[in-house]
Amino acid sequence: MLVPKSGIWIIPTSLFIREHLKTVGRDYGLNMWHKLRNERTMIGQKTGSWQVFRNCLWNLKKLGLIRPVEERDSEYPNQKRIYYEIVPEKIHSKAWYNPRAFLYPDSYRFNRH
């Protein structure tokens, strides 16, 4: 679900990742985060930190929505670039809309009464 912010509709990070990977096929996390940050900066919205984005990637990977397909050396020492792609069978999963709610259904705030 899109979230209104100051009259502008912001696509959630997980859906941004899905749409980006549908377009390019595969990409590495830092590049996707830079694209998201640039897109949101153009419309005057803030972007979460790189760590928040990495957490989102971890959630999507744990749910089986994306998978790592390649690892390459990075320009940073002792780090690898991990390229991800969408798992084709999960492209229409409802988990894309709110991955944390699907990972932690008992503790997620919308399920509390």
Q: Which residue from 36, 55, 45 is spatially nearest to 7, judged by alpha carbons?
A: 45
Q: Which domains does the chain have, with CATH numbers?
A: 12-111 (1.10.10.10)
pLDDT tens for 91-111 read 999 999 999 999 988 877 655
End-to-end alpha carbon distance in the chain: 22
- Give the predicted TM-score (pTM) of the model: 0.85
Work out the pLDDT band at 5, boundaries 50, 70, 90. Answer: low
Query: pLDDT per residue over 14-69, tens digit each?
Result: 999 999 999 999 999 999 999 999 999 988 888 889 999 999 999 999 999 999 99
Question: Could you tell me which residues come within 8 angstroms of residue 58 by beta carbon, excluding any fewer than 6 positions away?
Answer: none
Which of 22, 55, 15 lies closest to 36 in space, CA to CA?
15
- In whole angstroms, what is the distance from residue 103 CA to residue 100 CA? 5
Query: What's the pLDDT at 7?
Result: 56
Structure confidence by residue, pLDDT tens digits, 60-95:
999 999 999 999 988 888 889 999 999 999 999 999
